[in-house]
Amino acid sequence: MAKVTLLGACGAVGSVAAGILVDGKEFSEIVLADMNLNKTRILASSFGSNRVTARAFDANDPESIKKVIKGSAVVLNCVGPFYEYGPKILKATIESKINYVDVCDDFDATIAMLKMDRAAKQAGISALVGMGSSPGMANVIVRFCAENLLDSVEQVDIYHAHGGEKVEGPAVVKHRIHSMEAEIPMFLKGKFTTVKLFEKSGKALEEVTDFADIGTYKVYGYPHPETITLPKYLKGVKRVTNLGLVLPPAYAELIKGMVKLGVTGEKAIEVQCMKVKPLEFAVAYILSQRAKLNREAGLTQAMGCLKIVVKGKKNGAKNTYIFQMSSKGKGMGEGTGIPAALGAIIMGTGKIKVKGVLPPEACVNPNDVLELIKTKIKFGGKSGGVPIAIQHINKDGKVSELKLF
């Protein structure tokens, strides 16, 4: 029995992860930490458990981070945007010699944190980065497929769509803007490359795909880190892509439009004798329109889907596996928060032995995750785990349905 500290506990992702950790018996003490102490105390008291305490901390202050995580066996970091806070918090955690898990979905932050591998090894700790939905469950499922269903993997295409969550914070919108402005990493024709969302290279990857239970949508390139990490662990793979969409499509187009207009810079400008960062205005405006756009689209509840298409060979024959995890009534908070909590549990129970900074496919046994999903997670009011739909397409094009649970 040990202590876990959850940073960013009051967010959409952190609050879901907190519930999973409190429901479990793996940790004797659960510290919920966020910048607003009153809000964190309200969340902590809602669980009605004497194992849960609330703390405030400043993610910009390394000493504040170290103080709040002191004595922990595991730190679970859900503070976004990760391009701003991921490396800062990991550095403080390594210096405190505490094992670490996060849900980082920014490729540049992932690269920066992977460069801390040597420091983590010297500190004798394990750091699991990107244990959410995409990245996270996507990586775990690809590894499961590579180890259990195929002899070799040639192509991995990851798709995700979600929206309609009750609350969306500024950090999420900033992440999306950051993603749209970035040079997006992809692994194509056996080589690492980059594309730009609004240019020919990015548009060439756009496609329309069907998502189980939530509909058919056009998806576009996302700079999620699977395209960087998976090729390093899949010998012979020729293609790894990541494409996604925030729902409703009109909301995604609004964010795209703000980026195209160039009003997302961080250099303050003077507006009626006040200094205003265009990015802060853009985020505030985008969020002000979200409820209206959801209403006009008839999006009345959270929904989401993660879809992974893995192509390869078994006994010399081509095979395709399509995995989908979808729901109506649950969205990004659950899709990311549940795997994050499971990652913390796996770390806290000593199932990750390797030291250093690692993506999920490098250190997480898929069977450990699947067993926890099956035994710990209730979905739709029932026990038995999150439903994972699997289609198998054999060399002759015959489609069959498989079950994990």
- For the chain, how many residues are written? 405
Q: How confident is the model at residue 378 (pLDDT cuts 50, 70, 90)?
A: low
Mean pLDDT of 308-317: 97
Per-residue pLDDT reduced to its tens digit, 328-377: 887 777 889 999 999 999 999 999 999 999 999 999 999 999 999 888 77
pLDDT attached to residue 84: 95
Measured distance CA(349)–CA(26) in Å, rounded: 7
If 0-12 CB within 10 Å is exposed, 13-18 middle and 19+ buried, where does residue 177 land? buried
Helix (H, G, I), strand (E, B) or coil at 221: strand
Mean pLDDT of 49-53: 97
Q: How confident is the model at residue 327 (pLDDT cuts 50, 70, 90)?
A: confident
pLDDT of 141 > 90? The answer is: yes
Cis peptide before 248 (omega within 30 of 0): yes
- Alpha carbon 383 to its chain's center: 24
pLDDT attached to residue 398: 97
Cβ(343)–Cβ(119) under 8 Å? Answer: no
How far from 135 is each of 66, 341, 362, CA to CA, in Å? 26, 14, 13
- Domains of the chain, by residue range, sit at 2-131+332-377, 249-298
Helix (H, G, I), strand (E, B) or coil at 27: strand
Helix (H, G, I), strand (E, B) or coil at 309: strand
- Give residue 64's region: left, alpha or beta (phi > 0; psi -120 to 50): alpha
Measured distance CA(207)–CA(201) in Å, rounded: 13
Nearest partner of 212 among 160, 148, 262, judged by Cα: 160
Measured distance CA(198)–CA(180) in Å, rounded: 8
Percent of the chain whose predicted confidence (pLDDT) is above 90: 91
Per-residue pLDDT reduced to its tens digit, 4-42: 999 999 998 999 999 999 999 999 999 999 999 999 999
Mean pLDDT of 98-127: 97
Per-residue pLDDT reduced to its tens digit, 57-86: 999 999 999 999 999 999 999 999 999 999
Neighbours of 71 (CB within 10 A): 12
The residues near 299 (Cβ < 8 Å, ≥ 6 apart) are 163, 164, 247, 248
Per-residue pLDDT reduced to its tens digit, 150-208: 999 999 999 999 999 888 889 999 999 999 999 999 999 999 999 999 999 999 999 99
Dihedral of the CA atoms 287, 292, 298, 303 (nearest 10)? 10
Helix (H, G, I), strand (E, B) or coil at 107: helix
Nearest-5° Cα angle at 287, 286 to 292: 90
Cβ(57)–Cβ(7) under 8 Å? Answer: yes
How is residue 94 annotated by DSSP?
Answer: H
Q: Look up tokens 């094009």; give the residue.
A: 397
Q: Is the pTM of this model over 0.85?
A: yes
Instruction: Output the average pLDDT for the chain.
Output: 95
pLDDT attached to residue 370: 92
What does CATH list as the number for 2-131+332-377?
3.40.50.720
pLDDT of 268 > 90? The answer is: yes
Helix (H, G, I), strand (E, B) or coil at 150: coil
- Alpha carbon 114 to its chain's center: 16
Cβ(222)–Cβ(240) under 8 Å? Answer: no
Q: Where are the beta strands (DSSP E) in 176-316?
A: 183-188, 191-196, 207-211, 215-221, 239-247, 269-271, 274-276, 303-314
Measured distance CA(68)–CA(7) in Å, rounded: 9
